[in-house]
Amino acid sequence: MLELNVNGAPHALDVPDDMPLLWAIRDVVGLTGTKFGCGIAACGACTVHLDGAPVRSCSLPVAAAVGRKITTIEGLAPLDQPHPVQAAWVELGVPQCGYCQSGQIMAAAALLERKPKPSDTDIDLAMTNICRCGCYPRIKAAIKSAAGVA
């Protein structure tokens, strides 16, 4: 049994130590906002926060998350009080298909936690998630809006 802290709640999971955290979150805990994209930590659709830092959960063994704080898109903010990044995403109509957006939002929220007023270069360096629809200009605009630097 592995004990995980997901969005502030304890979860006891009977899973193999090497199971990717993504599948523990989606299939065992039942939180499906975190998406599977590539399975090799390249695209970022699976981004969650581990102790506040963005990580690609598709390649992280669940055992590496024991004793650490995991935050998924569902735990970023209450539904009635969206995170500033989520509010900016809606306000600017960022997503096209939306598949990568949970990971994009999680990466952007972690960036703003580290750098509340990021430069264009900071955004470019931090936002390594892939968007097949090419929403990058709207993603950058939303991050700037959430940071109050638009």
pLDDT in tens, 19-38: 999 999 999 999 999 999 99
CATH number at residue 68: 3.10.20.30
Shared domain for 13 and 49, answered yes or no, is: yes
Same domain membership, residue 93 and residue 59 = no
Look up residue 45 and give its two tokens.
Answer: 């659709």
Q: What is the pTM of this model?
A: 0.96
* Residue range(s) defining the domain that contains residue 116: 84-147
- Whether residue 99 sits in one domain with residue 70: no
Q: Which amino acid is at 62?
A: V
* Residues 6+ away with beta carbon under 8 Å from 107: 44, 47, 54, 126, 127, 128, 129
pLDDT in tens, 39-74: 999 999 999 999 999 999 999 999 999 999 999 999
Give the span between the Cα atoms of 114 and 111, in whole angstroms. 5
CATH number at residue 113: 1.10.150.120
Looking at the structure, tell me whether residues 99 and 49 fall in a common domain.
no
Q: Are residues 127 and 105 in the same domain?
A: yes
Q: Is 148 left (phi over 0), alpha (psi -120 to 50) or beta?
A: left
